[in-house]
Structure 1
Amino acid sequence: MHMKILQKDLKHGFLKVKIDSSEDLWYLESIIEQSDVVSGMTERKIKIGGSEEKSKISRINVFLKIKVEKISFEDTLRVSGIIIDGPEDVPKGEYHTFSIAEGTTITIEKNHWTKYVLKKLEEATKQSAFYALIVAFDREDAIFALLKNNGYEVLLEIKGDVAKKGVDEKKTSFYKEIISKMKDYDEKYSFNSIILASPAFWKEYLLKELDDDVLKKKIILATCSSIDGGTINEILRRPELATVLEKDKSSKELSVVDELLNAINNNNAAYGMRDVKSKIDSGNISVLLVSENLIKKARADKTYSQIELLMTQAESLNAEIRIISSEDAARKLDGLSGIACLLRWKENYGKQNYEP
């Protein structure tokens, strides 16, 4: 479930990765930049045959190396640029687009790996503790699975006793059994999210039976075609899973931004480029927070080097660097200019006047 690094030599600007999930594509969109060199196996149309009349177009897999000019991300990540290396029958200087999806292996070469890119790479490959509960069921069967960083573990499978007569009564009893097991597992793991999946409308019926408002707030509804051995893998390919991952990340980022807001009220934080730089210069910084929106704007405006310098200096002081990218947390930080820091020690002065 995390991007795999196959080879790494950042001293020579070289990184080879394998894409394991759709979330990896989101990270790669931030990691790959214009003027990078991307290489790997890719599909390309090639003319086969002699004369124009007799030649035909065929799609073949070839190894190509391109200098990146454009990156776009929809269902797949598309990286386009000029071919700088490849087989003899593929002319250099022509345009080519890599379509990067799950299972793709590519190599990225850069002249300089910035702090921001390295943080995104760390985030993409880090095995942080993550748990969510998947409950897949219909009116006769239910599967409980624990979703973890490295896959999932089936915790329990239960069967309902549905007879032709008294179906509604048996169904309600089965739902209560499922809800009881959900509560037990939530007490044990304290989930941030619970994915409730079923064919048809069974999940909505169960939700009506659930009277626990705290548990309800954790639930994300998903659809599956049936309840069998392939059900959990089917759910893992659903877009709802990306929602769960983002929800977990958002919770953590909101927590650190709220900590920042409290620290500002207690004169234990600074924000804005000028004041953050002042704290770094004096060594009084424990955490540096930078909005990804600010970084993207600075990269587009060719002013990112200023932020890179602050990140490098903060890191030399053993300060933690947090890139804030989830929507709610980033919006709050953007309201404070997009850059801020928590202090190592409290300074006694009046509330600062914000200057970007």
Structure 2
Amino acid sequence: MRIDILDDKHGVLRVRIDSEDDLWLLSLMISRGDIVKAVTLRDVSIGDEKRKIPMVLSIEVIRTEFQAFTNRLRVHGIVVEGPDRFGVKGSHHTISIDIGSEVTIFKKVWSKDFIESILRFSRPINILLVAVDFDEYAVALIQQQGVKIVDERSVSLPVSDYGFDEEKNRLVEELAKKIVDIAHRYRISDIVIGSPGSLKDEVRRRILELDPDIRVYTDSVANGGYAGIQELLHRDVIGRMLRDTAIVKATEILNEFDYLLVKDIERVAYGLNDIEMLSDIGAIEKLVIVDEIVMSGDDRERIDKILRGVMERRGEVVIVPSNTPIGERLKMLGGAVAILRYRVPRG
């Protein structure tokens, strides 16, 4: 993602989208009431027929629509500026933003700290995790926007020695080719393979025969499939590779939250009502919140107020994807948790 601040005083930004993760980050930047300006397609009547005509439109945002692991962000709103000859001003329109798009945003409420907080997580992350054993395998893609299972399959190898090696070699060949194909499709250079025993090493060797430029790491896990992917996500090798991502930062804060919840409960908070009050008095040191709350149209002004309150007092804000294990846990805690600078007694 490339961001140019065109007007620091009034919050005018020009943003270029370079990856799928950039679309997720952009969806967090755009709020209800902002003006978004971009080249877009619009149905217009020309004579007796309708055509889609490219034009530059500015819309006042009503809501955004983003689905993880897609390559499109849709911004819905009312046209406030456009070519007069087409009479589009005042009508509803949706701007579709794709990889390669460039948009200009006029922020209704401008917080440079909030933008910088989001940009800390703008480093592209593309890592493939593979968990395989003799019963099943799963392949998962990790990006800033979360974890996605891109392939999984149950495997049935012979119980007896007869035919076992042949079937195992067929499994290694099939999986290695799939992994290389997925790595090329998503432009991945780092792969981590986990398995019980030596199966991971055999898959690694075959991958490197197919593409020597891919970096392949191995680790031992007790299971293949989805359970093995979950094991890999908690390993140090993954933590080192993902140390700057929102998921890892949020995990560290949530671990501290769990500790203080037992040892010093007046130093933690969860749920928006409690967190809003504590943000108002400047008590929040660290805040973790799920993205679907940040993007919610109903509570967006309230959420923006909370985030600004934390960041203006140099607090740390981490926004995590809702479709991750830590995002699911946060939703059970009201969508957000906070570590406080000092004890705040509450009734």
- Classify the TM-score, shorter chain: 0.5 to 0.7
CA contact (8 A) 1:270 1:276 kept: no
Residues 68 and 204 (structure 1), Cα distance of their counterparts in 2 relative to 1, 3 Å cut: farther
Residue type of the partner of 2:318? Answer: R
Residue type of the partner of 1:29? Answer: S
- Deviation of 1:331 (Å): 3.2
| Alpha-carbon separation, structure 2, partners of 1:330 and 1:56 | 48
Residues 184-195 of structure 1: pairs in structure 2 closer than 5 A: 194=191
- Look up the match of 1:260: 257
Q: Deviations over 1:180-213 (max 9, x none)?
A: xxxxxxxxxxxxx7267xxxxxx99837999952
Structural RMSD (CA): 4.8
Q: Deviations over 1:192-251 (max 9, x none)?
A: x7267xxxxxx99837999952497569xxxxxxxxxxxxxxxxxxxxxxxx98x96434
Residue type of the partner of 1:22? Answer: E
Residues 322 and 30 (structure 1), Cα distance of their counterparts in 2 relative to 1, 3 Å cut: closer
- Look up the match of 1:140: none
CA contact (8 A) 1:30 1:120 kept: no
Identify unmatched segments of 5+ residues in structure 2: 131-141, 145-164, 177-189, 194-199, 207-216, 231-240
Residues 133 and 114 (structure 1), Cα distance of their counterparts in 2 relative to 1, 3 Å cut: same
- Look up the match of 2:19: 21
CA contact (8 A) 1:285 1:319 kept: yes
TM-score (norm: length of structure 2): 0.56
Residues 281-320 of structure 1: pairs in structure 2 closer than 5 A: 285-295=284-294, 299-301=297-299, 304-305=301-302, 307-320=303-316
Residues 1-356 of structure 1: pairs in structure 2 closer than 5 A: 3-48=1-46, 52=47, 56-73=49-66, 75=70, 76-91=72-87, 92-113=89-110, 119=114, 122-124=117-119, 126-128=121-123, 132=127, 194=191, 206=203, 212-214=219-221, 217=228, 249-267=246-264, 269-272=267-270, 285-295=284-294, 299-301=297-299, 304-305=301-302, 307-326=303-322, 327-344=324-341
| Alpha-carbon separation, structure 1, partners of 2:99 and 2:339 | 38
- Deviation of 1:31 (Å): 2.8
- Deviation of 1:266 (Å): 1.6
Residues 314 and 58 (structure 1), Cα distance of their counterparts in 2 relative to 1, 3 Å cut: closer
Residue type of the partner of 1:289? Answer: V
Residues 6 and 195 (structure 1), Cα distance of their counterparts in 2 relative to 1, 3 Å cut: farther
| Alpha-carbon separation, structure 1, partners of 2:316 and 2:252 | 15
CA contact (8 A) 1:194 1:218 kept: no
| Alpha-carbon separation, structure 1, partners of 2:220 and 2:248 | 18
| Alpha-carbon separation, structure 2, partners of 1:339 and 1:88 | 45
CA contact (8 A) 2:10 2:110 kept: no
Residues 31 and 266 (structure 1), Cα distance of their counterparts in 2 relative to 1, 3 Å cut: same
Residues 343 and 42 (structure 1), Cα distance of their counterparts in 2 relative to 1, 3 Å cut: closer
Residue type of the partner of 1:213? Answer: S
Equivalent pairs counted in the alignment come to 261
| Alpha-carbon separation, structure 1, partners of 2:74 and 2:27 | 9
- Deviation of 1:4 (Å): 1.3
Residues 37 and 251 (structure 1), Cα distance of their counterparts in 2 relative to 1, 3 Å cut: same
Residues 5 and 340 (structure 1), Cα distance of their counterparts in 2 relative to 1, 3 Å cut: same
Q: Deviations over 1:140-172 (max 9, x none)?
A: xxxxxxx999xxxxxxxxxxxxxxxxxx99x97
Identify unmatched segments of 5+ residues in structure 1: 136-146, 150-167, 180-192, 197-202, 220-243
- Deviation of 1:5 (Å): 0.9
TM-score (norm: length of structure 1): 0.55
Q: Deviations over 1:266-289 (max 9, x none)?
A: 216321467657766776543233
- Deviation of 1:105 (Å): 0.9
Q: Deviations over 1:17-46 (max 9, x none)?
A: 111112222233333333322212122344
| Alpha-carbon separation, structure 2, partners of 1:211 and 1:80 | 45
| Alpha-carbon separation, structure 1, partners of 2:115 and 2:106 | 16
